């Protein structure tokens, strides 16, 4: 009898929800404009009925059908984008629709560009915000008149001190992340793209949500599945992609990739200024003899092989270049045009001639 009763209640609840969404019978609706602030999430692929259910489950509307019926008067509801929305509890269906389609209601997403570091870079008296600073800015929200924000320092501490498993680091990167210096261990694991950040969560929850979302993006870009034929481990492919991202513009990615393959095979030091700049926490500038001779794990002039971690956020295009390099026996490259175009050569004499011409032309 107990089992039968539970089943009856369960079936009754399912039937009620079905009736409500299908429009059979009457439905409940609040009459006010709302009470307390609440955050709701619209996920990729959510249709109007799913959004209605989400709002109902979060106490925004009195019933899913209240939102569905109100949405019939405004087709913009079908264009609601994935993300987090600052709503109020106990809103009428009509006002819930109006608030959902208001661009100001949606919490701004974070745009991570290719090559971005985790931490800020100071350049010519200006600060270039890193991943942590951008996530901190996105974490800010005002609920019921109280503004709350996570700081970049809180997010950085969570990234460095929390077990990588708890941060959602994918299995293929775990061993390398655990070996890395805590300050750099998440570098490159947040690839280029747009990320939705839920305000009001802890620093650990925020980092985890972004790392997990990035792992899905990386999987779509071919890591780890597409790395099998490269001869490198997935994490090494990530490092190589980050180097390519910093060293060239997109049209030259596959050629820089080939240089990396050729130098690692030789073996020959990579000699990439981008790794020196990463070590010195400085932007794209020419390195000095002193910089190139300074010891350190990221100095690719004095160390052979790849650096211990990526040096920035890679893009899908840079990852694709690692998967399919240009081919050929090019060994050197230098920026030779003002638009960032790179010239490549097979030997040091050709390279030196290209360097001299680029300097004469005022490229750098």
**Do 23 and 92 lie in a common domain?**
yes
Predicted pLDDT at 4:
35
Q: SS3 for 121-165, per residue?
A: EEECCEEECCHHHHHHHHCCEEECCEEECCCHHHHHHHHHHCCCC
> Reduced to 3 states, what is the DSSP secondary structure of residue 357?
helix
Q: Which residue has the tokens 């011409």?
A: 357
Q: How far apart are CA 333 and CA 327, in angstroms?
A: 15
Give the pair of three-digit tokens for residue 152: 């970049």
Asked whether residue 22 carries a pLDDT value surpassing 70, the answer given is: no
Of 7-16, 105-114, 125-134, give the lowest mean pLDDT range.
Answer: 7-16
Of 25-29, 160-164, 194-198, 350-354, give the lowest mean pLDDT range.
Answer: 25-29
Percentage of residues in the chain having pLDDT higher than 70: 93
**Do 78 and 154 lie in a common domain?**
no
Mean pLDDT of 63-69: 97
**Do 234 and 349 lie in a common domain?**
yes
Whole-number average pLDDT of the chain: 91
**Do 229 and 350 lie in a common domain?**
yes
Q: Which among 90, 113, 86 has a CA at the least distance from the CA of 100?
A: 86
Q: Which among 359, 256, 263, 363 has a CA at the least distance from the CA of 306?
A: 263
Predicted pLDDT at 224:
97
**Do 147 and 166 lie in a common domain?**
yes
Considering 221, 245, 267, which residue would you say is the last residue of a domain?
221
**Do 115 and 99 lie in a common domain?**
no
**Do 127 and 99 lie in a common domain?**
no
Considering 89, 105, 121, which residue would you say is the last residue of a domain?
105
Asked whether residue 263 carries a pLDDT value surpassing 70, the answer given is: yes
CATH number of the domain enclosing 72 = 3.30.1490.480
**Do 252 and 350 lie in a common domain?**
yes
Total structural domains within the chain: 3
Q: How far apart are CA 249 and CA 103, in angstroms?
A: 34
Predicted pLDDT at 305:
97
- pTM over 0.75? The answer is yes
Mean pLDDT of 12-17: 38
**Do 161 and 286 lie in a common domain?**
no
**Do 24 and 95 lie in a common domain?**
yes
pLDDT tens readout for residues 112-121: 999 999 999 9
User: How buried is residue 343: exposed, middle or buried, by Cβ count under 10 Å (0-12/13-18/19+)?
Assistant: buried
Considering 221, 242, 264, which residue would you say is the last residue of a domain?
221
Distance of CA 201 to the CA centre of its chain: 18
Q: Whole domain around residue 89: which residue ranges?
A: 2-105
Mean pLDDT of 196-223: 96
**Do 240 and 355 lie in a common domain?**
yes
Of 1-10, 97-106, 168-177, 217-226, give the lowest mean pLDDT range.
Answer: 1-10
pLDDT tens readout for residues 270-305: 999 999 999 999 887 778 999 999 999 999 999 999
Predicted pLDDT at 25:
60
Predicted pLDDT at 123:
79
Q: Which among 92, 279, 254 has a CA at the least distance from the CA of 183?
A: 279
Mean pLDDT of 125-148: 89
pLDDT tens readout for residues 182-194: 999 999 999 999 9
Q: Which residue has the tokens 């929850």?
A: 205
Asked whether residue 223 carries a pLDDT value surpassing 80, the answer given is: yes
Asked whether residue 202 carries a pLDDT value surpassing 50, the answer given is: yes
pLDDT tens readout for residues 304-329: 999 999 999 999 999 999 999 999 99
Q: Taking a C-beta distance cutoff of 8 angstroms, is the pair 304, 268 a contact?
A: yes
**Do 73 and 119 lie in a common domain?**
no
Asked whether residue 17 carries a pLDDT value surpassing 80, the answer given is: no
Q: Taking a C-beta distance cutoff of 8 angstroms, is the pair 144, 195 a contact?
A: no
């Amino acid at each position: 009898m107990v089992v039968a009763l539970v089943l009856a209640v369960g079936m009754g609840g399912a039937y009620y929800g079905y009736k409500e969404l299908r429009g059979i019978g009457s439905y409940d609706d609040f009459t006010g404009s709302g009470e307390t602030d609440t955050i709701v999430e619209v996920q990729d692929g959510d249709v109007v009925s799913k959004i209605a259910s989400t709002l109902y489950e979060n106490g925004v509307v009195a019933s899913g059908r209240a939102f569905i019926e109100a949405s019939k008067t405004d087709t913009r509801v079908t264009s609601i984008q994935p993300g987090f929305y600052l709503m109020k509890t106990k809103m009428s269906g009509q006002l819930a629709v109006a608030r959902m389609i208001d661009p100001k209601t949606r919490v701004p997403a974070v745009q991570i560009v290719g090559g971005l570091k985790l931490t800020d870079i100071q350049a010519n008296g200006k600060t270039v915000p890193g991943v942590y600073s951008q996530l901190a800015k996105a974490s800010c929200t005002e609920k019921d008149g109280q503004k709350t924000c996570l700081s970049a320092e809180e997010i950085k501490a969570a990234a460095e001190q929390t077990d990588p498993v708890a941060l959602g680091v994918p299995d293929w990167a775990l061993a390398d992340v655990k070996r890395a210096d805590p300050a750099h261990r998440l570098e490159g694991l947040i690839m280029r793209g747009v990320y939705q950040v839920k305000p009001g969560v802890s620093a650990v929850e925020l980092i985890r949500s972004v790392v997990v979302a990035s792992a899905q993006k990386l999987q779509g870009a071919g890591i780890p599945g597409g790395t099998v034929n490269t001869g490198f481990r997935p994490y090494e492919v990530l490092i190589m992609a980050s180097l390519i991202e910093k060293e060239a513009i997109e049209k030259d990615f596959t050629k820089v990739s080939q240089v990396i393959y050729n130098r690692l095979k030789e073996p020959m030091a990579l000699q990439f200024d981008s790794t020196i700049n990463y070590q010195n926490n400085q932007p794209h500038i020419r390195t000095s003899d002193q910089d190139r001779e300074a010891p350190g794990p990221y100095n690719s002039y004095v160390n052979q092989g790849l650096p211990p971690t990526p040096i920035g956020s890679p893009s899908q295009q840079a990852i694709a270049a690692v998967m399919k390099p240009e081919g050929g026996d090019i060994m050197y490259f230098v920026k030779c045009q003002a638009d960032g175009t790179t010239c490549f050569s097979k030997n040091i004499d050709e390279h030196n001639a290209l360097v001299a011409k680029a300097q004469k032309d005022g490229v750098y």
